[in-house]
Structure 1
Amino acid sequence: MNYILRKHMEENAPLEIIYLSEQGKITQRKIQVLEIYPGHIHAFCFLRQTKRTFKVANILSARLIKARFYRSG
């Protein structure tokens, strides 16, 4: 998972993730990885339209998405 996150951060490419929240809810998010830290990432979340922190262990899957979700600027 770390390889995928780092690769897409370096390429400035958005991802679609399936994420398990702290409350046990599974959500689908479109994100742009901004920073990677041990155990978590900071990313722009297109659903919430703000920067969010995600635990890497809670990312169940990640895949490249179409460029139309790319955050400009």
Structure 2
Amino acid sequence: MSIKPGERLEMIYIDHNNKITQRTIKVLRSNEDTVLAYCYTKKQVRTFKVENILSTQPIRRMGA
């Protein structure tokens, strides 16, 4: 999974309680294990485990 700083993504994530959520995030940094991102859903910076990310999709801009 190639996630770059500055990217805005729609993400499907499963948390430690096995709850699946859809998030809109802006990636701040990432490595092979985690993604640090601003979560627009929770309105705060969050750390996501790469192994728990089920899918990502870039956010398309209107008119693009």
Q: TM-score, normalised by structure 1?
A: 0.77
Gaps of 5+ in 1: 69-73
Q: Higher strand proportion, which one?
A: 2
Q: TM-score, normalised by structure 2?
A: 0.86
Deviation digits for residues 5-29 of structure 1 (CA, Å, limit 9, x no counterpart): 12xx2xx230000001010000000
Alignment of 1:1-73 (within 5 A): 1=1, 3=2, 5-6=3-4, 9=5, 12-67=6-61
Q: Distance in 1 between matches of 2:60 and 2:44?
A: 19
Gaps of 5+ in 2: none
Q: Higher helix proportion, which one?
A: 1
Where 2:16 maps in the other structure, the secondary structure is coil
Percent identity over the alignment?
Answer: 40
Q: Distance in 2 between matches of 1:59 and 1:53?
A: 11
Length, aligned pairs only: 62
